Structure 1
């Protein structure tokens, strides 16, 4: 009898809690949750199909894979448009009144359709332009400066290695110019068409241009002015760094090549885009008598392989009590360039939208740059894993720049002298002022100089999209 009474009481309490929940959430919020849950499974499926097709294409730049990727893009766009019509239809006037912030955010993100707003023929053209430019970029080849019968040099690894190691002014200029003639120059007309279609897509989403649509996820009305203010704070430090590096380069290449005032020739900075200057650290190191912070020779002497570099990164993240890489990661990632096929070698981390499949695609070489890059890319995977339980619409960075910040935090941590000694890649370290200055210089050459580069690229693209910079300019 007591047991029966308890059961009745439990039922009454459960019903009361459910009624209370309905009153606290409101019928609209319960209906909104059910509506979003109904979209989730299909969205994960369509996302997975597109990522899989994109992976296959970037891992093997064949015509068949390109066609399959294009088909998957259109299928995903059809679902996005169908989902968008549901969100902006009946729910269009209801979701802004929801009290739950998480629900409102999901609806707000889903109310922006993106490029899928284009008519299907225009969307197919847009996707083809992006694919064609990516293929041109990834397959561009130039002739060797010292052997014009060898015209098979590509960005990764050949040209990247030359930009890093060569100190021949004319060879570096040859590589810098010829690669651009074989890549960017061939994309110019396609990029103009891309801008036109991107702006059309943005306007169909009620933005003035694609630059404005790119800014929307930052959820800031002052983003551009904030970036300008931050750059102006950084500018005095950058100018000092620039002047110091310019003087050191003038000592190496001569005053006829590097002026006492003005810009530094971009091809002398060790990187195809001059977005990082760390590869010329040997020229600008403040205290050359201190041990080198480049552990490439130690790695090679110890027989490091790309897989060992990835295992080392995995151990690092586990030591922070983060997740081990899942079995699918080791089975399906591409960490070395396969022979006999073209692929996109730019290092990238991939989330396959199903909560279990994560991969990295990277044409790894055994050197310190790739050791840092490996930790950076695995930092992305860790972020994927940490938010895998969120709704699909939230499975991305907190804003479009946040993922890179997470990856950089990890790569900065592993490049400190103390850590490199702990993992056996530095014999000995001396922690003193001169060693600190060397380390800080190395970090500045990579991180400080990238900030104006990144800001400049966005400023340029914003002006291209809004029409302030014309195609002829």
Structure 2
């Protein structure tokens, strides 16, 4: 499959608003200028009206405050989401102006809600109200301080960073190309000089973000401290029904469970790259050169399957992209097929408005944000996806994933406003990924008529290797993005160290290095959408654990006794009923209770990853005999 297999997350400015969930696939600040030339960007003053400031610090006062906050969130959230949709699907000076204004209003409201919620920290209230108060305090991603002008400045910076990324282009062989174009070339290129030029070229868009990003960190940290947190990173880590330090340790524990498998995969891939390119390009020891892995961020390696495919034994007898094209699939048919999976589990079809209002293909007449995302605009039934869908295996998976967000959004729509969210942000990502595990199986492709016969066991290793190149290769990247940001927010990493720390984390977690020395002004983190877009990233790491827990539990419920990687729950309404019961809980209970509702387990457990890939890990161990696995972090 070509291009990155995206994984998804909330990128909307409003943690509390109706809004979107987006895939993890856009010095001197640029003026906002999609089609506006060099006009200076100055949004109107914030005009949103918050709540009264005189709620009594009693149980009754807390209950009334929460009720008023939820009512305000419902009405303002829909307004804000529609403005955000307008900008994402039509990037102009005016839509950016409107979004920046509404984001500033939203930030100010969120800060007001968080500060008011904190006033009830020592008040005895019932558990439901207490949970809602905690969510109000923890739900803000970029907290602005209370001082006048802070929300506006923070919003301007955030919108400018996002739009700089989304409209980024660089010179390649005498013409300006976009990220989409560069990604397609990088996926197919086996010329190390060309891959180096693409890798380094895309990263020329981000140095201009560095000063803005550093200023944004200053403002957000000021706001986080006003809310009682040491910094914004501590605020982010506190949103998982456990203390911030415990969450960091929990992710360390999960990484320790899967790290040996990643190192086994790394060792095998490095040896195959060495066999293709030779010692001068990729030595047979140490780290891997990042641009050789077929993905702009080296977060998934499936695009180089042709380089690392097994040289003996079974080979894959089909290519999903070719199957789709042979069956005359178009983007809409791909989305209809994704809908059909969820309907087969007993869930309702998508509403007619979904088909009328979604952006399924890239428009030809305007700039849009192509990063795949799923939207809930009214916290009820106006759900949509925004994609620039191509007919290929990667987007076939992405469609199934994004619709998972939509079905989750619709399942919890009857919860109180503050509980209309995933059990945690990793859950929202894992729902679609879990369905995607079924969607990529030969079993499912046979069930929907794309494959005439299901391949035999001789094709298991090629299938699992393809999956591991995306799923397992992603894990250290899913961890390192926020590890870098936690260091930035805490002040451990200063602006002059931003890029050095990023490349050090690449080496530490991924065992990768850039193709050449980075320039002094480099800001490589800004070349990854979720950094300028301010989307917390650990959710993706968690999702890559949860999805396999979900898969193992669902297949057990379905009575499946074969290999876990061959199990498809397509058409199983018993699994669907239990699955939907978890979805309907939203964020009303701590995430371990939601996990238990579907899986019977209350703890994250990466052993399900090992169960799924067990045949491949054994095979890799044999292939790696005689090789010096691992890499030095010096």
TM-score (norm 1): 0.87
Aligned mate of 1:233, from 245, 257, 264:
257
- Is 1:167 the equivalent of 2:207? no
Aligned mate of 2:232, from 210, 218, 221:
210
CA RMSD of aligned residues (A): 2.0
Unaligned runs of 5+ in 1: 1-27
Contact 2:118 2:227 in 1 (8 A): no
Could you report, residue by residue, the CA deviation over 1:68-100 in whole angstroms, capped at 9, with x for unpaired residues? 1122123334443554565445x4543xx22x3
Aligned mate of 1:102, from 122, 128, 131:
128
Aligned mate of 1:42, from 46, 54, 72:
72
Paired residue for 2:267?
243
Paired residue for 1:265?
289
- Is 1:359 the equivalent of 2:381? no
Contact 2:114 2:227 in 1 (8 A): no
TM-score (norm 2): 0.66
Q: Which has the larger radius of gyration?
A: 1
After alignment, is 381-390 or 227-236 more displaced?
Answer: 227-236
| 1:264–1:86 CA distance, 2 compared to 1 (3 A) | closer
Could you report, residue by residue, the CA deviation over 1:100-147 in whole angstroms, capped at 9, with x for unpaired residues? 3222101222244732444341211111111111111111112333xx
| 1:246–1:323 CA distance, 2 compared to 1 (3 A) | same
Contact 1:314 1:324 in 2 (8 A): yes
Paired residue for 1:131?
159
Please state whether the residue corresponding to 1:472 is helix, strand or coil: helix
Paired residue for 1:315?
340
Contact 2:401 2:436 in 1 (8 A): yes
**For 1:407 and 1:180, how far apart are their aligned partners in 2?**
30
Contact 1:291 1:429 in 2 (8 A): no
| 1:106–1:226 CA distance, 2 compared to 1 (3 A) | same
Higher helix share: 1
**For 1:52 and 1:298, how far apart are their aligned partners in 2?**
37
| 1:112–1:404 CA distance, 2 compared to 1 (3 A) | closer
Structure number with the bigger relative contact order (C-alpha 8 A, sep ≥ 6) is: 2
Paired residue for 2:33?
none
**For 1:35 and 1:202, how far apart are their aligned partners in 2?**
21
Q: Structure 1 residue 410: deviation in Å?
A: 1.2
**For 1:87 and 1:164, how far apart are their aligned partners in 2?**
48
Unaligned runs of 5+ in 2: 1-57, 498-634
| 1:32–1:408 CA distance, 2 compared to 1 (3 A) | same
- Is 1:121 the equivalent of 2:146? no
Paired residue for 1:193?
215
| 1:113–1:317 CA distance, 2 compared to 1 (3 A) | closer
Paired residue for 2:485?
461
Please state whether the residue corresponding to 1:430 is helix, strand or coil: coil
Could you report, residue by residue, the CA deviation over 1:376-405 in whole angstroms, capped at 9, with x for unpaired residues? 000111110111111121111211222111
**For 2:378 and 2:134, how far apart are their aligned partners in 1?**
20
| 1:230–1:191 CA distance, 2 compared to 1 (3 A) | same
| 1:320–1:258 CA distance, 2 compared to 1 (3 A) | same
Contact 1:334 1:361 in 2 (8 A): yes
Runs of 4+, deviation exceeding 6 Å = 28-31
**For 2:304 and 2:115, how far apart are their aligned partners in 1?**
53
Aligned mate of 1:143, from 166, 171, 186:
171
Please state whether the residue corresponding to 1:371 is helix, strand or coil: helix
**For 2:415 and 2:258, how far apart are their aligned partners in 1?**
36
Contact 2:224 2:231 in 1 (8 A): yes
**For 2:138 and 2:190, how far apart are their aligned partners in 1?**
49
After alignment, is 446-455 or 37-46 more displaced?
Answer: 37-46
| 1:343–1:64 CA distance, 2 compared to 1 (3 A) | same
Paired residue for 1:255?
279
| 1:54–1:459 CA distance, 2 compared to 1 (3 A) | same
Q: Structure 1 residue 457: deviation in Å?
A: 1.2
Aligned mate of 1:447, from 452, 471, 489:
471
Paired residue for 2:241?
219
Please state whether the residue corresponding to 2:172 is helix, strand or coil: coil
Paired residue for 1:177?
200
Matches within 5 A, 1:398-437: 398-432=423-457, 434-437=458-461
Q: Structure 1 residue 162: deviation in Å?
A: 1.0
Q: Structure 1 residue 414: deviation in Å?
A: 0.3
After alignment, is 52-61 or 119-128 more displaced?
Answer: 119-128
Paired residue for 1:472?
496
**For 1:239 and 1:318, how far apart are their aligned partners in 2?**
39
**For 1:247 and 1:82, how far apart are their aligned partners in 2?**
55
Please state whether the residue corresponding to 2:375 is helix, strand or coil: strand
Contact 1:81 1:113 in 2 (8 A): no
Q: Structure 1 residue 160: deviation in Å?
A: 1.6
| 1:113–1:397 CA distance, 2 compared to 1 (3 A) | closer
Aligned mate of 1:370, from 395, 399, 405:
395
**For 1:242 and 1:401, how far apart are their aligned partners in 2?**
25
| 1:281–1:256 CA distance, 2 compared to 1 (3 A) | same
**For 1:43 and 1:138, how far apart are their aligned partners in 2?**
28
Please state whether the residue corresponding to 1:309 is helix, strand or coil: helix
